[in-house]
Structure 1
Amino acid sequence: MAKKKIYCECLNTVKPVRDTLDVISGKWKLPIIISVGVGNSRFTDIQESIPGLTPKVLAKELKELEQHQLIKRLIIEDYPVKIVYHLEPYADTLTPIIYAMKDWGISHREKIFKK
């Protein structure tokens, strides 16, 4: 009985963590969220703020982030037409996760490189 309880408790943690990673994992999603969050709203501004990010990959990642309701794509009818990206309020729920990852990353670097 105890093994089954431990197994269930493990699954109850692993499943939501996996769901989170499915949304924000990869090389580019968090940098894109951070870039848009600090004010880069145009496609080229986002791309230029993240070294190595190609337009094709940025377009794909923005689309996925939009599907997960983290980023909103706005079309401004002007001449020329302007497309901008903004974080949805829902993206604010990632702020504590991003800062926790930042803090852990700083601590980890210190532990590994400053023995």
Structure 2
Amino acid sequence: MKSTEPVCQYELKAARDAMEVIQGKWRIPIVISLTYGTKRFGEIHRDIPDISPKMLSQELKALEENKLITRTLHDSMPVTVEYALTPLGMSLRELLNELRNWGKHFRDEIVGK
């Protein structure tokens, strides 16, 4: 019998990599907010009112470092900064849809309607 251990280890590492990028309480909500289009900091904050401005700033930087979002500085008065999903960030849409579907199923089955 052929060992599947290397394949399993590769799959586990890939899943850990993905979880590392989207981990935490705020990154998925931020990405979901940006699936609706390019937004400024205040617009994202209005979508996710429970997040502090400091935490939002930190999470936006982390998402940018992981190439899921872009930060565009517009030379205007006052200076405007916009955030948008990159193609890599947009590739999360299907995963997020499945996550929402599973969450609805979980809520119906466990939490109750």
TM more than 0.5: yes
Contact 1:40 1:46 in 2 (8 A): no
**TM alignment of 1:1-115, pairs within 5 A:** 5-39=3-37, 41-114=39-112
In structure 2, list runs of 5 or more residues that go unmatched.
Answer: none
TM-superposition CA deviations, 1:64-108 (whole Å, max 9, x none): 101111111011111111111111122121111101111111111
- Gaps in structure 1 of 5+ consecutive residues: none
Runs of 4+ in 1 over 3 A off after TM superposition: 6-9
State the SS of the aligned residue for 2:24: coil
2:35–2:93 CA contact under 8 A, matched in 1: no
Instruction: Compare relative contact order (CA 8 Å, sep 6+) and give the higher one, 1 or 2.
Output: 2
Provide the alpha-carbon RMSD of the alignment: 1.8
TM-score relative to the length of structure 1: 0.88
Q: Which stretch has the larger CA shift, 90-99 or 19-28?
A: 90-99
Q: What is the DSSP-based 3-state SS (H/G/I as helix, E as strand, rest coil) of the residue aligned with 2:91?
A: helix
Structure number with higher helix proportion: 1
- What's the CA shift for 1:6? 4.6
SS of 2:55 mapped into structure 1: helix
- Matched residue count: 113
Amino acid across the alignment from 2:24: G
Equivalent residues of 2:38, 2:85 under 8 A apart = no
TM-score, normalisation: structure 2 = 0.90
- The CA deviation at 1:10 is 2.9
Matched letter for residue 8 of structure 1: P
Structure 2 residue identity aligned to 1:43: F
